[in-house]
Amino acid sequence: QKEVEQNSGPLSVPEGAIASLNCTYSDRGSQSFFWYRQYSGKSPELIMFIYSNGDKEDGRFTAQLNKASQYVSLLIRDSQPSDSATYLCAVRTNDYKLSFGAGTTVTVRA
Amino acid sequence: EAGVAQSPRYKIIEKRQSVAFWCNPISGHATLYWYQQILGQGPKLLIQFQNNGVVDDSQLPKDRFSAERLKGVDSTLKIQPAKLEDSAVYLCASSFPGVYEQYFGPGTRLTVT
């Protein structure tokens, strides 16, 4: 079982719609969770982090965490063409390493 | 604030040759990470430094990879000898100690032929 799994994608959404990205993790002791955005040919950039159960909103982005279900998600509201990228879920595991999922590629159709 | 700097940006070598990558972290960031990102996969941690000491190198293929961080600032990652499967982007990241947010450099794209 992979430490961090993301829905395989690619995910195609029309402009203005909500993009929903999912991530599950295996280490129940994980404490912190991150979403990185990676444009093609570029390095990952941090867009959200969440430590506590519930929702955390930052502009058009909302991260949701459910530690009991070992599940973290990212919602992108009012999707724009500039949101087209690969989104990486990262989890800080119990041994303090950051483990990344393989990423979900999002394409926003104009 | 200047970001994480890496060089070279691109490198093409033949298998069995050696190669070295350089990283300069964000000023004040004591923690430095080297990741390998193979096409279509997420980054995989190779080694983590805290100042000039190694915190974790459990996923570093030590028979061919080495890394150092002299003086606790710049770092170099070396591969000797390179294999075809080492073709990847090598990312350097840094963070303040105890702070979980990591900031990535632009990466070095290595192609081994």
Chain B residue with Cα closest to A4 = B42
> Which one of A44, A98, A102 has the shortest CB-CB distance to B45?
A98
Cβ count within 10 A of residue A87: 25
pLDDT-based confidence at residue A22 (cuts at 50, 70, 90): very high
The pLDDT tens digits for B25-65 are: 999 999 999 999 999 999 999 999 998 899 999 999 999 99
> Do B42 and A92 lie within an 8 Å CB cutoff?
no
Q: Which residues, at least 6 apart from B34, have a Cβ–Cβ distance to it below 8 Å?
A: B23, B45, B46, B47, B48, B67, B75, B77, B90, B91, B92
Nearest alpha-carbon partner for B34 in B106, B97, B100, B94: B94
- How big is the CA angle at A83 (ends A80 and A84), to the nearest 5 degrees? 110
pLDDT-based confidence at residue A95 (cuts at 50, 70, 90): low
Q: Which residues, at least 6 apart from B53, have a Cβ–Cβ distance to it below 8 Å?
A: none
> Do A45 and B107 lie within an 8 Å CB cutoff?
no
pLDDT-based confidence at residue A109 (cuts at 50, 70, 90): very high
CA distance B20 to B29: 22
> pLDDT > 70: what percent of chain A?
96
> Do B100 and A92 lie within an 8 Å CB cutoff?
yes
